Amino acid sequence: MIYDGEINPYFTSGLIKSKGQVAEPLFRLPDKVLDELRTDGVISLKTSPRLDEFIRQQFSEDFAEKLVGKDATDEFEEDQTSWDEHDEPHNVGAGFFVYAEEIDWEAGTLRTSYIPSPKQREEHLFWDQEEHLPSELSDPDFDVNLSGMCFELAKVEMLLPNERIMTDLPMATVRSDQVKAMGRPRKWDWDEAMAYVVALANKPDGLPTGAGAQARIEELIQQWFLDKDGNAPALSQIRQRVQKIMAGLA
């Protein structure tokens, strides 16, 4: 029923961490930077003050701090998404159940350390990925721990019209006014946002350049969304696209 969308799962608490190897973002550095790190035909990505300087120049401040001082083979924790009982319950995609390593229906918990890479995810299973699985990596690893599983009381009553619903069970139900709006999240207008960036690039001052340029472009796009919609995509989603812009400018 969850897979078919007949009933929508919510969790009152969640902690989702994304992580990966330092090598992945480092190998996306512009070719001219990698060439400067080349010695005798071999690119050295061993931690060094020189490499740290390039990292700080090419990535936003918060992302760079996760990479500096590490070798390419080291693992780093990229981002995390969390909420608890003080927030609204979060509606999650059926993909979390499909790829769960452990589901305790009585305790209302779900755990997994495997989520398909962004290119392999089926959109109907992970329609919530921008909210719950933000990542700049092409193949991140995840640690997912969800608790307080619950379902909308009205939907459960429709499915079991002649049953008395016990709302004090560990896997509880919630009223419709206690949860976020149902369905797929609003799609961000990335085409229009990129058109805005192109327009900035064609102005006399052009796009920001030099150290910290990526972070400033991210802020410009974030502010554009806030001005247009009153809300903005996760910073990691913005950063993923700005990295492509920076690569094109290199």
What percent of the chain lies above the pLDDT cut of 70? Answer: 86
Looking at residue 148, its pLDDT comes to 94
Are 89 and 12 a contacting pair, CB within 8 Å? yes
The DSSP symbol for 59 reads S
* End-to-end Cα distance, the chain: 49
pLDDT of residue 188: 76
In Å, how far are 63, 65, 70, 194, 207 from 198, measured between CA atoms?
25, 29, 35, 6, 9
User: What's the burial of 91, exposed, middle or buried (CB within 10 Å: 0-12/13-18/19+)?
Assistant: buried
pLDDT under 70 in the chain at which residues? 154-187, 250
Q: What is the pTM of this model?
A: 0.66
Residues 6+ apart with CB under 8 A from 208: 216, 217, 220
